[in-house]
Structure 1
Amino acid sequence: MDQGHRPTLTRGRTTRVALLRGAGQSASRARPAWALRLIPGRRRVPTLPTEPVATLRSTPGSAGHRSAPRSQLHAHQRLRRSATVPPIQRITTPFSYSAAVVAGDTAYLGLHRGFGMSFTEQLHDTFVGLASTLDAIGLTTADLVKVTVWLKDIADLPEMEHLFGDHFDDGEYPARMTATTEFVDADCLLMIEGIAYRSTE
């Protein structure tokens, strides 16, 4: 590069320098966009041309979109939920559990036990209690979709199987799991818990 192509530097003050594109080009012409601003004692910093900034039209999901404050979003979500989802309903007991909890179209039944001197009496009385709880939430035993039968003595399983069908229409039985366990109450021979579904039909 000859002398005509080098920038002119002046120490002690800021100097605008135009880099000449070719020999004989006047330095008085308007400096191009790639001109440099020289600052004494510092590295040369490019001076970028001033251009109009386009207005960003943001849309939800774009980088320029500014979301509403989180507290406002949560309040809006709670409002929409309260308008579309019914509140949870509970059938309480004197103890630390609910006989039933209704969440949407599903009802979850807690433990139910019956009373009587024999296994047969306790089984039928247990279904009386189940029917009473279901009636309180507008359902019947026909709406049961899943039950778990807890037996104190596995020897009672054949009798339970024989009597269970008396409380349902033929072929309309809920899914069932039968297991054995010990009960706190010494006179308790069985308990039943389950899930019921409120059909829209």
Structure 2
Amino acid sequence: MGGIVEQTHQTMRNLIAILQEAGYDITDVVRVGVWLEDPRDFWSFNKVFGEYFSPEHAPARACVQANMMVDCKVEIDCIAYKRK
């Protein structure tokens, strides 16, 4: 399981793998939805999140607390768009 830092890294690795399988990469992400079990984890989560998204490619983001999560501290979804 791990704490918020470990779970955020794993979630981002999973997200990147799914993006790559679909022919996208992290710079194609335009929107991210984040669910945190505990809002006090936001600053630790945000530090890890910043390791994956540079300020030049920061997507729009919504972050909310989720009370119904079981055995996880963070969930992330995204929308990616590849410019032609």
> Once superposed, which parts of structure 1, at least 4 consecutive aligned residues long, lie more than 3 Å away?
none
Which has the higher relative contact order, 1 or 2, with Cα contacts under 8 A spaced 6 or more apart?
2
Match in the other structure for 2:17: 132
Give 3-state SS (helix, strand or coil) of 1:160's partner. helix
Match in the other structure for 2:64: 179
Gaps of 5+ in 2: none
Match in the other structure for 2:35: 150
Q: How do 1:28-47 and structure 2 match up within 5 A?
A: none
- What RMSD in Å do the two structures reach over aligned CA positions? 1.2
Distance 2:69 2:2 in 1: 17
TM-score by length of 2: 0.92
Distance 2:79 2:34 in 1: 12
Distance 1:117 1:183 in 2: 18
Tell me how many residue pairs correspond in the alignment: 84
% identity of equivalent residues = 32
Give 3-state SS (helix, strand or coil) of 2:56's partner. coil
Quick one: which amino acid aligns to residue 193 of structure 1? D
Q: How do 1:16-165 and structure 2 match up within 5 A?
A: 116-165=1-50
Q: When you count helix as a share of all residues, which structure comes out higher? A: 2
Give 3-state SS (helix, strand or coil) of 1:171's partner. helix
TM-score by length of 1: 0.40
The superposition leaves residues 83-131 of structure 1 with CA deviations (integer Å, 9 ceiling, x where unpaired) of: xxxxxxxxxxxxxxxxxxxxxxxxxxxxxxxxx3111000000001001
